[in-house]
Chain A
């Protein structure tokens, strides 16, 4: 089964709203955690990452903190823009770190 679970979308927000997309994972060991973003018509891009517990990844105003105690890596942004509309994928590496396991994705729509 899928070992990365993220909240179902779509999520629809108004511009400047606060965003949270929840993500939890199951894993043995200490995987690296990632958020990827897929803008309309484009390929997957790495948004941010964290490689050990309590690390905070950040990029373009987005943040996520590696919480080992809750096995979570929730994505947050304080003020979303229309240009943030995309599909967001939470992901982790497997034990051994050679492949990436993805959640199902959460589509975000931001309205002006």
Chain B
């Protein structure tokens, strides 16, 4: 296992189109997270899953955004009717809950550009 992988690495889309990103976490990790990072800022939490259950969603995640993790393994993040403000790097991370040791391992991200 080579770590968290995300696909695609880059996506350019026209405003109003729908896009879907995929994340494959480290195989034994039961937690999966989505973050968004804009230029010059740190990653901002969007949502997280423990196994297949989505346990928290940030207020940043408008109703145009939906995330799934149907079998507790890979996850998808869909953005409907994209807007220019959605342009950002979307990061996926995974971790294994073990006491206090909850460090997250990040993928390389999907860079979305909405034109």
Which residues of A are in contact with B by a Cβ distance under 8 Å? 4, 32, 34, 36, 42-46, 49, 51-52, 89, 91, 93, 97-105
Contact = CB atoms under 8 A, between A and B. Distances in A.
A46 B40 contact: no
Contacts of A46: 103-105
What does DSSP make chain A's interface, helix, strand, loop or mixed? strand
Contacts of B25: none
Contacts of B101: 32, 51
A89 B41 CA distance: 9
Nearest to A97: B102
A105 B40 contact: yes
Contacts of B40: 104-105
B31 A98 contact: yes
A98 B106 contact: no
B106 A44 contact: yes
B85 interface: no
A3 B108 CA distance: 25
A98 B102 contact: yes
B107 A100 contact: no
A104 B56 CA distance: 22
Contact of A103 (B42, B45, B93, B106): B42
Given A43-B109, A49-B103, A102 B56 contact: no
Contacts of A99: 33, 45, 48, 56
20 contacts: A32-B100, A32-B101, A32-B102, A36-B106, A43-B91, A43-B106, A43-B107, A43-B108, A44-B91, A44-B106, A46-B104, A98-B56, A99-B45, A99-B56, A100-B43, A102-B43, A102-B44, A104-B42, A105-B41, A105-B42
A103 B43 CA distance: 8
Contacts of B104: 46, 100
Nearest to B105: A46
Contacts of A104: 40-42
Contacts of B103: 32, 34, 46, 49
